[in-house]
Amino acid sequence: MSDKSTIIVFSGDLDKAIASFIIATGAAAMGKQVTMFFTFWGLNILRKDQYVPTKKSFLENMFAKMMPRGPEKLGISKMNFGGIGAKMMRYIMRKKNIASLAELMQTAKELDVKIIACAMSMDVLGIKEEELIDGIEYAGVATYLAEADESNHNLFI
Amino acid sequence: MSDKSTIIVFSGDLDKAIASFIIATGAAAMGKQVTMFFTFWGLNILRKDQYVPTKKSFLENMFAKMMPRGPEKLGISKMNFGGIGAKMMRYIMRKKNIASLAELMQTAKELDVKIIACAMSMDVLGIKEEELIDGIEYAGVATYLAEADESNHNLFI
Amino acid sequence: MSDKSTIIVFSGDLDKAIASFIIATGAAAMGKQVTMFFTFWGLNILRKDQYVPTKKSFLENMFAKMMPRGPEKLGISKMNFGGIGAKMMRYIMRKKNIASLAELMQTAKELDVKIIACAMSMDVLGIKEEELIDGIEYAGVATYLAEADESNHNLFI
């Protein structure tokens, strides 16, 4: 039995991001080698929360401005109501002492979960390396597929 | 080759719920041992359709009121138009003699598909055990991961 | 280790369709035998772009009119703004010399990716075989499950 797990994180919604990291950190805690491959809207989870000046085209700038920057800015996939739903979910989780997305991401790092940002999606959305958090890798679909080939647990979220 | 299959049902949309149960019952009918792990909005699929009085906080009550109760109340993920799309889909399926979601869920039970409600999501959304249908289990991500580890077929829906 | 890969394409969004075909063609290029199973809104990806007259019921006609016909008409899952987002994404990809969805689909064909349209979903949505592109197969969930059973890489998109 393989001891690897891969998760493609396509979604940039807070609820799906939380689910991804709960699965990833859980699997890593059980001794699995976990790779998370962030693509399209999922890249927003990896964005630094502060603004990073970069050279962007007009359209890239539009995308960048409209997309959320990091875990604290993400909306939820249902009942978001312009961010109120996401705020409520963050508030409830804090009150119930459930780890926040930022804390889950920190745990993932400590458990050596491999975080890969999809280079092609970064190109499409105009996201530069300096806008993303530190300690991650940049690669394409071939790298993901090589990891997936050795995994018995593959998810697309 | 493993004879197990696991499905995480994150979505609470009628169309995705139907897809989940068609895959689950199909796999079970082929002799696979199937585990469905319901989390976040997916929990709404497992809610009893009648109102169950429970002690809830203000925010939990808000979530509970706004979320659909059971298979007959779910919307579809596209072209729902305030529930009209979902009604149309239910009507068409009935007319074409395709099993409804409630019937698929009954079949899943008969085929011994294991239904697990995610305890942490229940806590976040304020859903209590007595609000969910009978004959299901309650567990966390570790239980899911243990099942997934023995499966060669894992999906996130 | 199995050399098969299966992808259920449930979503009919341009961004998710692109992701599906990038993964599928990448896996096929690496020598994997890839099966894509198109169901529900995913069927729209396989629709011919020109109108094909067919006998439809009133409701089937409504669905058919409201659903996009083929790769050039699909919207994106986030920030679509009535199609503007999708247009922007297509424009950016063309400018950056990234293969379009239509080109990815052509590559998939050349790499012998097996494309299956879900017969039950076609029935529900009232889509007829002559409305879908050539060179594809029609089958049900049992066919999908038989393929998935031999695969070590299964995704639901």
Q: What is the CATH number of domain A7-156?
A: 3.40.1260.10
Residue C77 in this model has a pLDDT that exceeds 50:
yes
Residue C63 has a pLDDT of 86
A22–B124 CB contact, under 8 Å: no
- Whether C153 contacts A149, CB under 8 Å: yes
Per-residue buried b or exposed e for C96-118, using 16+ beta carbons within 10 Å of the residue's own CB: eebbebeebbebbeebebbbbbb
Return the pLDDT at B1.
47
Q: Between A84-95 and B58-66, two packed helices, what is the crossing angle to 10 degrees? A: 130
C67 near C35, Cβ under 8 Å? no
Question: Testing the interface with A: which of B2, B151, B156, B157 to mutate, by most A Cβ within 10 A?
Answer: B156
Least Cα distance to A147 among A33, A10, A9 occurs for A33
CA pair distance A59, A48, nearest whole angstrom: 20
Below-70 pLDDT ranges, chain B: 1-2
Interface touch C155/B153, C-beta < 8 Å: no
What does DSSP say about strands B33-38 and B114-118: parallel, antiparallel, or unpaired? parallel
Chains with 3+ CB–CB pairs under 8 A to B are: A, C
3-class DSSP state of B65: helix
Q: Which residues of A touch C (CB under 8 A)?
A: 8, 10, 12, 39-41, 59-60, 62-63, 66-67, 120, 123-124, 126, 141-142, 144-145, 148-152, 154-156
Q: Please, which chains are in contact with A (at least 3 CB pairs closer than 8 A)?
A: B, C
Query: Minimal CA–CA distance to B93: which of A47, C11, C40?
Result: C40
Q: A59–C154: do the CB atoms touch at under 8 Å?
A: no
Q: What is the rounded distance in angstroms from the CA atom of residue A98 to the CA atom of residue A100? A: 6
Burial class of residue A135 in the structure, from the number of CB atoms within 10 Å of its CB (0-12 exposed, 13-18 middle, 19+ buried) = exposed
Question: A92 contacts in B (CB within 8 Å)?
Answer: 59-60, 124, 126
Output A65-73 pairs: Cβ under 8 A, ≥24 positions apart. A66/C79, A67/A12, A67/A41, A67/A125, A67/C79, A68/A12, A68/A44, A69/A44, A70/A44, A70/A45, A70/A46, A70/A133, A71/A14, A71/A17, A71/A45, A71/A100, A71/A101, A71/A102, A71/A105, A72/A102, A73/A44, A73/A49
Instruction: Please say if the pLDDT value at position A1 is more than 90.
Output: no
Mean pLDDT, range A115-126, rounded to an integer: 96
Mean pLDDT of C29-33: 96
CA nearest to B12 within chain A: A78
Q: What are the Cα distances from residue B130, in Å, to A44, A126, A136, B26, B122?
A: 38, 48, 43, 29, 11
Question: Residue B81: what pLDDT?
Answer: 87
End-to-end CA gap in chain A? 23
- Residue in chain A closest to C22 (alpha carbons) equals A141
Contact between A145 and C1 using a beta-carbon 8 Å cutoff: no
Which chain B residues have a beta carbon less than 8 Å from that of C151?
Answer: 152-153
| Percent with pLDDT over 70 in chain A | 99
Q: Do C41 and B98 count as a contact with CB atoms less than 8 A apart?
A: no
Instruction: Give residue-wise pLDDT tens across range C3-24.
Output: 999 999 999 999 999 999 999 9
Report the largest interatomic distance among the alpha carbons of chain A, rounded to a whole angstrom.
49
**B chain contacts of residue C10, beta-carbon cutoff 8 Å:** 15-16, 19, 157
State how far residue A141 is from chain C, nearest Cα, in angstroms: 7
Q: What is the pLDDT of residues C136-153, one digit of tens each?
A: 999 999 999 999 999 989
C113 secondary structure, DSSP code: -
**DSSP one-letter string for A4-48:** EEEEEE----HHHHHHHHHHHHHHHHTT-EEEEEE-GGGGGGGB-
Structure tokens at A121: 């999606």
Say yes or no to pLDDT of C1 above 50.
Answer: no
Residue in C19, C79, C157 nearest the CB of A66: C79
pLDDT band with cut points at 50, 70 and 90 for residue A63:
confident
pLDDT for the residue numbered C72: 94
Taking the CA of residue B79 and the nearest CA in chain A, the distance in Å comes to 15
Pick the residue from chain B with its C-alpha nearest to A8: B156
> According to the model, what pLDDT value does residue B27 have?
97
Residues of C in contact with A120 (CB under 8 A): 22, 98
How far apart are the C-alpha atoms of A39 and A41, rounded to whole Å?
A: 6
Nearest to C125 by CA among C50, C66, C52: C66
Residue-wise pLDDT tens digits, C78-114: 989 889 999 999 999 999 999 999 999 999 999 999 9
- At residue B2, the pLDDT reads 66
Confidence tier at C2 by pLDDT (50, 70, 90):
low
User: Is this prediction's ipTM beyond 0.90?
Assistant: yes
Confidence at A2, pLDDT banded by 50, 70, 90: low
**Given pLDDT bands bounded at 50, 70 and 90, which one contains residue A23?**
very high
Quote the tokens at residue A152: 């018995």
Contact residues on chain A for C78, CB-CB shorter than 8 A: 12, 41
- Section A90-95 average pLDDT: 94
* Ramachandran class of C113: left when φ > 0, alpha when ψ lies in -120 to 50, beta otherwise: beta
Assess contact for B123 and A99: CB atoms under 8 A. Answer: no
* C59 vs B contacts (CB less than 8 Å): 88, 91-92
3-class SS letters over A98-134: CCCHHHHHHHHHHCCCEEEEEHHHHHHHCCCHHHECC
Kindly list the residues from chain C whose CB atom is less than 8 angstroms away from the CB atom of residue A124. 89, 92-93, 96, 98
The angle, 0 to 180 degrees and rounded to 10, between the axes of the packed helices C14-29 and C101-110 is 30
Residue C56 to residue A54: CA distance in whole angstroms:
53
Decide if B141 and A92 are in contact by the 8 Å CB cutoff. Answer: no
Q: Does domain B4-156 have CATH number 3.40.720.10?
A: no
Residue B127's pLDDT is: 96
What is the mean predicted confidence (pLDDT) over A80-103?
Answer: 93
Contact B8 A88 (CB under 8 A): no
Residues of C with a Cβ under 8 Å from any A Cβ are 1, 15-16, 19, 22-23, 26-27, 30, 32, 77-79, 88-89, 91-93, 96, 98, 152-157
